[in-house]
Structure formats: C-alpha cells, structure tokens
A and B are shown apart, each in its own frame.
Chain A
Amino acid sequence: MTETTISELKIIVFQLKNKEYAIPVTQVRSIEKMQHITRVPGVAQYIKGVINLRGLVTPIIDLGYRFGLAEAEMTDSTRIIIAVLNDSEVGLIVDAANDVLDIQTETIEPPPEIIGGNEDEYVNGVVKIGKRLLILLDLEKVIKIANMIEV
C-alpha cells in the first residue's frame, strides 16, 4: 500500500441549491448561523452587506447569486462560512454547511466541460465520493477585490 505517500486534503462541504461545493478547511475560519446583515449601498449586488463578526466588520457575499443562481433563501439551515483570504475575512452565504471530509488530492479531477451557471471560472476541480460530486472552489477567484465595488 502506498497510503502514506498520498496527500490528504481536509475540505468543508456546503450546499447551494442542489449542488455540493467544497473549499479547503485551511481557508475557513468559522461557520456562523444566519444573522442580521447590514446592507451597504452602492456595492455589487452579490454583496449582501456586512456583519459584526466578533467586533470585526465583515463583508458577506451571496455565493449563489454570485454563481448566477437565485438569491439565497434564508432558512434554518442557511449558514455563513467565514473564509480567510489574504488576511481579510469574507463571509459566504450558503444554503447549508454539512460536512468536513478528508479527500485524497489525487482524486481531484479537472472540472468537466459543463457544470452550468457561470461558476465555471471559479472551479478548481471536482471530486467524486460515491454518488456525490463535490465542486472545489477557487476562493481567490470568487472574491475578486476589484469586483466588489461597482464602478
């Protein structure tokens, strides 16, 4: 067996509509329940606003809207995933955050031609686990600073 040489990746799995997405756990600071979001005028529509995250004002992105899906519906399972990128924290609204998984990096496949929606450009690859298909996101591309403010 060559198990020891296989590198593992811990990922957080979350749901948007009927698809499952994943980001590496190292990029996630915490997962928060839905809370009051203060709208910020004059910014891109997928930015829902800001929340108070332990004293830090943190911007919140509606990931579904960002991917061209419908605007997130707020339910009991709605979560905000606080991701860390370049020392800044950003919250991502997802329909549910249900799993932490260990995957082997070799099992990551390049993104298939058609996933649908305009999320293609943010996808790093896909992972199949049994019948589940997890879409690995490239957070850097999801959160393009330049896009945050509408000019």
Chain B
Amino acid sequence: MDMNMNQYLEVFIEESKEHLQACNQNLLELEKNPTNLSIVNEIFRSAHTLKGMSATMGYEDLANLTHQMENILDLIRQSKLLVSPELLDVVFSATEHLEEMVQSISEGGDGKCDVKDVIQKLKMIEKGETPIQTSAKQEAAVTVEEKVSTKNFDQFELTVLIQSAEQGFNTYEVAVSLREDCLLKAARVFMVFEVFEALGEVIKSTPSVDLLEEEQFDNEFTVTYVSKETEKTIIQKVMNISEIEKVVVTPFSPLEIQQVYGRRDESEVTVGKEENQIALESNETVNDNSDDKTQQPKANIGNKTIRVNIERLDILMNLFEELVIDRGRLEQISSELNNQELHETVERMSRISGDLQNIILNMRMVPVEMVFNRFPRMVRQLARDLNKKINLEIFGAETELDRTVIDEIGDPLVHLIRNAIDHGIETPSERRSKGKSEEGRVHLKAYHSGNHVFIEIEDDGAGISREKVLNKAIKNNIVIAQSAASLTDKQVYELIFASGFSTAEKISDISGRGVGLDVVKNTIESLGGSVSVDSNFGKGSIFSIQLPLTLSIISVMLVGIQNEKFAIPLSSIIETAIVKKEDILYTHNQKVIDFRGKVVPLLFLKDIFDVPVLSENGDFLSVIIVRKGDKMAGLVVDSFIGQQEIVLKSLGNYLANVFAISGATILGDGQVALIIDCNALIN
C-alpha cells in the first residue's frame, strides 16, 4: 500500500470497527424486532459505507463480503426476505468474518480471509427460497420486489381484496414504469390512475398516492388493483398514455396472502396498520419520510466526532493544570488587592476555566459500554454453539473509565464471560433437573466505588466445586495435600487463577484451554487492578474485577488534618458527624463511638499519617464514617473543607504502595493533596 493510503488506514480501521459495532447492535435489535425495517436500513447503511471504504482501501475480500451481505439486507428491506434466526446466523457470521479481517488489517495484516463459505451461504439465501414465496414466473426483478412490498396489507385492505375476489373481480399487482425522461411525473401518475379508476379500483399503491403526487418516487410505482378487465386490456389502456415505459400486470390470489399472514404473528399486522403503510414505503424513499424518522430517532442521529490522539489530550490536560495553578494564584492576588474589577474578572475566569476543566477531564473518559457492547452478540453465539439458554444482562454500561484502561480490559472480560457461560451455566436439561429456570443468567455489572471501578461477572450456574478445584490443584502441584484442608473456600476458589488450571472435565474451544484465568489475572494486575472470585456451589459464581482509575475523576471530601489537606473518596463515606470527646468509649485500647446503635472504631488520621501537630482542637471531634463492605470506621479529622471533583493521579513509580494512600490530586491552588484509601484503613 502506498503512503497515501497509509495515512487513512487508521481512520479506516476505527471507522470500520464502529460500523461493524453498529451492525452488530442493530442485528441484535433486529432479532428482537424482525419486522422493523428501519433497523435493516441502519444495518444496510453501515454495510454500505463499509463496502465503499474497504473497496477504496483495496481490501477486496472485505468489500466482496460486505457486498454480499448488503444484497441480503437489501432483500430484507424490500420485504423479499423475512428475517429468521437462521438468516441472522449467517449474517452474524459474515459480520464476524468482517471483524476478523478488520482486526487483521489493524494488526498490520493484509485483511485477507477465506470468506468463500460465508459468501456461498449468503448467495444461497439471496437466490434461495424466501419465506414468502415469490412466484418463479416473475419476469422482471422490479416486479418481484414491488409485488411483495405491496403485499404487506393491513387487515382492512386484505378484507377488501378477499371480498372483491369473492365477487368475481380479478386482483392484480400492476407495476408501472415511467420513462426516464418523463418530466411531469405526477401528471403521468394522475393519468394512469384515471385509467385505473375507469376500469376498476385501486386498493393500495406503493409508494402511497400522496408521495406519488409529490413526485417522491423514482420512475416506478406499483398498485394493488381490482378489476373485471383482463390483464391484456389493462396493459393496453395504460400503455396508451405517453411516456410510460412498461406495465406489468400480475394476477394474485388474496387468499394466499391471507395464509401467509396467518403464519406471521399478529403483532406485525397491527404494527403495519399503525404505521399506515409509510414505514414499508420508506424502503424506497428514506430521505423524505418523516414518520420513519420519528420511529427511530436514536438510530438516525449520528454523533459527530473527530479523532484525537490520546497523547494530545495528555498534553492538553497537563497544560490546563498549569493554568489552574495560575488561576489559584490570581484568585489569591485578587483577594489581597481588593479591586472590584479585578475581582470580577478573576471570578469569571475561574468559572470558565472550571467548565473547561470538566470538559477536558471528561474527554478522556469513555463509557465502559465501548467494551460491553460487543458481548451480547458473543453471548448469543456462544449460547447457540453450546445449546444453552442464556440471558445476559448488562448494568452500569455508562460507567466511565479512562480510555487507556478501556483498551486493555476487553480480552480479560471476554475470557471471564466465556468462562461463565461454558463452565458456569449448565445445559437447559441440567438446570431443569436442579429446579432452576432453563435460561441461565449472566450479569455484567460495572460501577464506581472508592478509587476504583469494579466490573462483576455473575452467573447463576453450577458454581465452583471446592473438591474438584482442590483435587486438581493438588494434582498439578499448586497446593500440597496437607495444607489443602486448612484453606478457606475463597482461598480454594482463588486457586483457579493459578497457571495451568482447568476444571472443565472436557476441554472445549470456548474456554477450556487451561491457559485462561491466569492470563486474565496477569492482564488485570498489569493494569494495577485485581481480580477475585467467589462462588456458591450449585448456585453460581461471581468474578469481581477491580480496576484503578489511573486517570479518572472522582468526588471526594476534602478534609483538613492540622495544616495538611487530604481527600477522602465520597463513595466510601457514609456520613460525617461531630462527636463530643466525652462520647468516646474505650474497648481493648481502641477508641470507639456509638454510631446509630453500631460500635464504630475511631481512627485518628493524624496519628496514622504522623501529621505534625501544631494545635489541639477543642471538645469536639470531626468524624467521617467510612465503610468497606459491611465494616465501618470513623476517621477523625480536624476539619471538613468541602466536597470536590478531583482528578486522580498516581504518586509515580518511586512512591507506589504508600500505606493507605491510593494516589494524589492537584487542588485548585496547585497544591498536591493525598487521597486516602479507606479500604486499606479498615481491616
């Protein structure tokens, strides 16, 4: 590839990924709503863009496969094909191949992939029997599509058709093509309709009459028509009008149509009625169909984005923080000078830079959804492969994480989810025999807590067998038999993260390669996080990943301890209290207080952190009640300064692992404040 192309490669890869993601999401959506053609349109658009891009970049396999996929989608949106799970399987697998190819390109490969198989399948679907049988006799392709699209009748139209047929009328599909150079299309249409009305009755027209009058169609339209005349007469009469290219009249039986409807579920018919044909016609005239837009507002509003190198954001952030320091100084100077105008200007600048700060900080944060949204499809595929029924529920997808962390956690999560589905969730029959519902449940949950983001993967499957794990661990020399008995359940479960461990009795492709969980653990630890597992045998397991907010915004309570300022994450805080010194109780050399009926130990931060004591305070203690799990503690400080959003910064390589300090932040005045790690304090 020449240099010119290379510079677009990155954009191509990113955009391809986005389009594929959109495809995936919409396909899943379509599976739930197989009759919603506007979703198909969305997918079609993504596929189309992808095709164009990959052809431009010279990735032929990619372009070919998308092209084939596009054909199928086109048939669907023209209602020539009905959406079925089998069809979706093939389309999904095509998307998967596309993803592989894009992946290969992004890794510097040539994006080639053996796609013959999928293309073959897609072609078969394209040619093959569609759920609504379009008759083989159709002469022109145009007629076929028009025919079927008008066959989406509502109940009323269907009744009229059937009654007309009973009264001896012939029912026809009439497709009329105007000449390319036809100037006053609406006028021609009017003339055609006049002829129609003279000979019979138009039941339905595609596009609708309104649209035809507004010339909102290409050169063809189709009507459903009842008449006592023969096909020949109709063609003759219509052809008499000038500037008509072609007329195709196809007789059909309304009873057949009714049968087809019978096979579809009823809701679709109602939907068809409500949408009053317009949704169906929107296939042809997407651009002007306001009803269509209101139905799918989400899909049509694309976010406008530009790509920015993350390094630039880093630089921006650091520069901004320098600005913040000067802002702090300015504020101080202005308060000393006591000049009204200066004061106002500085205040205004502070406000603006505050907003700016928020924007800059948020720019780096990406919702974890970026990673999560590929899971529904993966789970669907796994469930089908393993013949299990699985309901994946995702919570907290909006939780934000720094982009750098997001990029790394994908693979570990895939592994854990696969693990949960493969080893955790039982087969439907097993589940039935255990008295569980056939459908297994997998919860994927993300949330902020303390200085961390937690991601949990919980399943209601078989759980982990202590015995099996121990036997395996002993066999693989991970633990020695003598010490095994003294291990707690949790300690035993943690053994599955040891390298060379696989508890599945038979090795499957999904996750039983035995190299799994230790890799997960390593990856997460390399991110500065940790992973743990807990399980209830027979009831399910929960994997919990704790990730640091390497660069994340958290809310803290700033507190003063003597002359020093510390930040306590709000998420750890239950409440603040002022306690009289005489209310302190003593137990085993430990000062405690009675807090809402609970005995809460007091931790004097100035002792824990060796804060130089300059002045003793009076009879009252300022206490912040914090919790870790169900344990509580009261942190004694000297003053509450206030609540603030801060950027979490690491203390750097030299000062990693300072006791009970999880990081630092830079305050508005440019000074560094340390962030207290409450989890380390409560133990």
Which A residues are within 8 Å of any B CB, using their own CB?
36, 38-43, 47, 49-52, 54-59, 86, 88-90, 143, 145, 148-149
Contact = CB atoms under 8 A, between A and B. Distances in A.
A41 B658 contact: yes
Given A38-B671, A39-B564, A52-B321, A47 B666 contact: no
Contacts of A52: 321, 325, 666, 670-672
14 contacts: A36-B670, A38-B564, A38-B664, A39-B564, A40-B655, A42-B610, A42-B658, A47-B655, A50-B652, A55-B320, A55-B322, A56-B652, A57-B651, A57-B652
Given A52-B321, A52-B671, A55-B317, A41 B610 contact: yes
A54 B321 contact: yes
B664 A50 contact: yes
Contacts of B672: 38, 49-52, 57
B448 interface: no
Contact of B654 (A42, A51, A55, A90): A90
A36 B672 CA distance: 9
Contacts of A49: 672
B318 interface: yes
A89 B651 CA distance: 11
A41 B657 CA distance: 11
Interface in B494-528: none
B652 A38 contact: no
B393 to A, nearest CB: 39
A59 to B, nearest CB: 5
Contacts of B319: 54-55
User: In the complex, which range does the number of interface residues on chain B fall in?
Assistant: 20 to 34
Contacts of A58: 652
B659 interface: yes
B674 A149 contact: no
B313 to A, nearest CB: 12
B266 to A, nearest CB: 62
A149 to B, nearest CB: 6
Contacts of A42: 609-610, 658-661
A76 B469 CA distance: 66
Given A42-B610, A55-B666, A88 B321 contact: no
Contacts of B589: none
B654 A54 contact: no
A38 B563 CA distance: 10
10 tightest Cβ-Cβ pairs between the two chains A and B: A55-B321, A55-B318, A41-B609, A38-B672, A57-B664, A52-B666, A42-B659, A148-B654, A59-B654, A57-B649
A103 B325 CA distance: 38
Contacts of B656: 149
Contacts of B622: none
A74 B175 CA distance: 94
B611 interface: yes
Contacts of B653: 86, 88, 145
A88 B179 CA distance: 75
A148 B317 CA distance: 28
B674 A38 contact: yes
A105 B551 CA distance: 43
A88 B664 CA distance: 16
Nearest to B565: A38
Interface in B435-463: none
B612 to A, nearest CB: 8
B608 interface: yes
A41 B611 contact: yes
B662 to A, nearest CB: 12
Interface in B633-683: 649-661, 664, 666, 670-674
Given A54-B318, A54-B322, A57-B664, A38 B673 contact: yes
Contacts of A149: 655-658
B318 A56 contact: yes
A57 B661 CA distance: 14
Nearest to B563: A39
Nearest to B318: A55
Nearest to A89: B652
B610 A59 contact: no
Nearest to B322: A54
Nearest to B647: A55
Contacts of B655: 40, 43, 47, 50, 59, 148-149
Interface in B184-212: none
A96 B608 CA distance: 34
Nearest to B667: A52
Contacts of B670: 36, 52
B650 A57 contact: yes
A42 B655 CA distance: 10
Contacts of A38: 564, 664, 671-674
Contacts of B659: 41-42
A149 B661 CA distance: 13
Given A47-B655, A58-B652, A149-B657, A36 B664 contact: no
Most buried by B among A56, A57, A86, A88: A57
Contacts of B325: 52
Nearest to B321: A55
A58 B611 CA distance: 20
Interface in B325-351: 325
